[in-house]
Chains A and B, each alone.
Chain A
Amino acid sequence: MKTILTIGGALAALFLSLSAFAGQSTPVVVDVDLDILFAQGDLITARDAKNDEVYIGCGTRNTEDGIGGVFKFAFCQAQDADGDQVTCFTTNPDLVETIREINDTSYVQFSWSDDGAGNLTCTRMGFSTQSFYLDKHTKDNAKGNEN
């Protein structure tokens, strides 16, 4: 009887640990495409990447101009495992406003225009927050990702 209970307990523990990893998972590794001027990646996958240079994200800055106004701008930055990196800025108020949507589990994508001399202006930003961007950690892959 004791043996049966032990085996039952072990099976229940295994079931519970497996159910913790259930659900769809679609991590998006950071990719900076300098040909189509597009970058994407989810924040968790980027943070867990084995390559320490990989990152992605966007932000805003609001600074008083000293004469009664506030200067607002936004930026996005990313670097992928291949070393391709991008930093773009925008003062478009609608895009600046969009960044409020981002959170620490978001999937981020953005596009930019290039004046040909390295002056990159963000032209679009997109954020999604869905369960399948939340990474699954396993024993074999402590950081969760290969990149």
Chain B
Amino acid sequence: MRPSTMILAMLALQTCLIIFLTFRVSSVKSEVDELAILAAITDAQLEQANTVPAALVTSPGPSVVSSSAGAGSDEIREIVREELAAVTEQFSLASATTTADRPSAQMQNPREVQQLRSNFQNELQTYLSQGTMSAGEFASLEGRIAQLPSGERERALGELSKAINQGRLDARF
């Protein structure tokens, strides 16, 4: 099989997987919505069941109905809770998978971030020691900054800004 055919096949497979995942997430979402509606209806019924026995407390007969209705609603509540927990777990798993598929600088581990930061610092230090930074050198440093997570990028630009404005680095871009 030629490399271009293989890449096309892999792209097609990846697209299918993304579509499947999107469908799965939306179906889980709709299940959660349905259960939320069910829970709201059950709560309303329970509220109604709790008010009726209070009104009928003077008559001895219906009190039995009241207690049995309470037991039934407890069971319903328990079932709804279990279902909601299961669906929520499923939903969060699906969301986690989607996020993992999407590249993000925020997901780099601390050791990796530390290494990237150290790379930036070392390169900046080189330019500080020579006192100037050419456009090409700045381009290289930009690449280092771009690899950092969002907050670290701001910090790196801040350090660069300080170096230039304190007169330690002559750099015009």
8 Å CB interface, A101-125 against B = 115, 117-121
Q: Which of B33-41, B117-125, B140-148 contacts A (4 or more CB under 8 A)?
A: B140-148
> Across the interface, which residues of B come within 8 angstroms of A118, CB to CB?
161-163, 165-166
Question: Quick check: B142 and A63 within 8 Å, CB to CB?
Answer: yes
What are the interface flags for B88-109 relative to A under an 8 Å C-beta threshold, 1 for contact and 0 otherwise?
0000000000000011110000
Q: Number of A residues contacting the other chain (C-beta, 8 Å)?
A: 27
Nearest residue, chain A, Cβ from B160: A89
The CA-CA distance from A69 to B102 in the complex, in Å, is: 10
Q: Which of A2-10, A71-79, A135-143 contacts B (4 or more CB under 8 A)?
A: A71-79
Q: Which residues of B contact A (CB under 8 A)?
A: 102-105, 139, 142-143, 145-147, 153-154, 157-166, 171-173
> Across the interface, which residues of B come within 8 angstroms of A73, CB to CB?
153, 157
| Interface secondary structure of A, over-half rule | strand
> Across the interface, which residues of A come within 8 angstroms of B164, CB to CB?
87
Question: Quick check: A67 and B103 within 8 Å, CB to CB?
Answer: yes
Nearest residue, chain B, Cβ from A70: B146
Question: Quick check: A68 and B165 within 8 Å, CB to CB?
Answer: no
8 Å CB interface, A45-70 against B = 55, 59, 61, 63-70
Q: Top 7 A-B pairs ranked by shortest CB distance?
A: A71-B146, A67-B103, A68-B103, A119-B158, A118-B162, A63-B146, A118-B165
Q: Which residues of A contact B (CB under 8 A)?
A: 55, 59, 61, 63-71, 73, 75, 77, 85-89, 91, 115, 117-121
Question: Quick check: B103 and A69 within 8 Å, CB to CB?
Answer: yes
Question: Quick check: B173 and A75 within 8 Å, CB to CB?
Answer: yes
> Across the interface, which residues of B come within 8 angstroms of A85, CB to CB?
165
> Across the interface, which residues of B come within 8 angstroms of A115, CB to CB?
158
The CA-CA distance from A110 to B157 in the complex, in Å, is: 18
